[in-house]
């Protein structure tokens, strides 16, 4: 009986290790919503969950520890990220990207000292990722740091078709009302006007030297 008991104990331990190494859950925890979507893209990096997601009262973030590191929804900029302690993966306007923890993408609104664009405009909820995408593009065109880009205007629009109000010659567009935003920026003495949808598309419609 003692030998049988030891065999069962070893088998149970091995099964538990298998779940911890490759399973979606450990115990009763699980991945949900944005955390699950990110983890499904890089399951071998994120690993298995060690707890359910929880609210961090110190910074307002939502966090979840995993066998590979930490999943985080950042309140400051509404991005979902995962870090293993040295590298961060983010689901951003260009899809899933990774970077060293000490660096930031131009479209991250919490990019650290000297990297957040100045703004005198009220940015509607949900428009932040598109504003950051436009800021990164304007900074590249003007040859300046994103911190030197000023956000002058962000307004909701309903474009008459899928061209976003910026039709290109010889291009055909779906004739449907397309909601989005008009974003006006200033960088390097130039004014940039962008028309966007409500997803990941920002079209440059105006680039003019400021008088």
124 and 199 in a single domain? The answer is yes
Q: What is the pLDDT of residues 27-86, one digit of tens each?
A: 589 999 889 989 999 999 999 999 999 998 877 889 999 999 999 988 776 778 999 988
Instruction: Report CA torsion sign: 128, 134, 137, 140.
Output: negative
Of residues 44, 47, 110, 36, the one with CA closest to residue 79: 110
Rounded distance, CA 32 to CA 90, Å? 16
Q: Phi, psi at residue 106, to the nearest 5°?
A: -60, -30
46 and 126 in a single domain? The answer is no
pLDDT at 118: 52
70 and 135 in a single domain? The answer is no
59 and 134 in a single domain? The answer is no
Please state the pTM of the whole predicted model: 0.47
Rounded distance, CA 126 to CA 197, Å? 11
Among candidate residues 65, 100, 135, the one where a domain is terminated: 100
Our count of domains for the chain comes to 2
Q: Show the domain range for 197.
A: 118-209
pLDDT at 34: 85
78 and 160 in a single domain? The answer is no
Query: Dihedral angle at the C-alpha atoms of 33, 44, 91, 97, nearest 10 degrees?
Result: 180
> Is 67 in contact with 43 (CB distance < 8 Å)?
no
Is 13 within a domain? no
CA 124 to chain centre: 17
191 and 131 in a single domain? The answer is yes
Residue 201: CB atoms within 10 Å? 16
Share of the chain above pLDDT 70, in %: 77
Q: Is the pLDDT of residue 116 over 50?
A: no
């Amino acid at each position: 009986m003692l030998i049988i008991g030891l065999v069962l104990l070893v088998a149970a331990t091995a099964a538990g290790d298998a779940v911890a190494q490759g399973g979606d859950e450990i115990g009763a925890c699980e991945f949900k919503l944005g955390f699950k979507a990110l983890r499904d893209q890089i399951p071998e990096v994120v690993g298995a969950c060690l707890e359910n997601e929880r609210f961090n009262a110190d910074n307002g973030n939502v966090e979840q520890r995993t066998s590979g590191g930490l999943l985080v929804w950042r309140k400051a900029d509404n991005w979902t990220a995962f870090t293993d302690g040295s590298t961060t993966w983010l689901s951003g306007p260009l899809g899933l990207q990774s970077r060293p923890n000490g660096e930031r993408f131009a479209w991250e609104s919490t990019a650290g000292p000297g990297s957040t664009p100045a703004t005198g405009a009220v940015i509607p909820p949900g428009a932040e990722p598109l504003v950051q995408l436009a800021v990164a593009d304007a900074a590249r065109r003007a040859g300046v740091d994103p911190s030197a880009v000023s956000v002058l205007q962000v307004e909701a629009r309903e474009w008459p078709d899928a061209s976003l109000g910026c039709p290109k010659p010889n291009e055909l567009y779906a004739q449907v009302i397309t909601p989005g935003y008009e974003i006006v920026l200033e960088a390097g003495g130039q004014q940039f006007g962008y028309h966007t949808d409500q997803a990941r598309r920002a079209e440059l419609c105006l680039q003019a030297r400021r008088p």
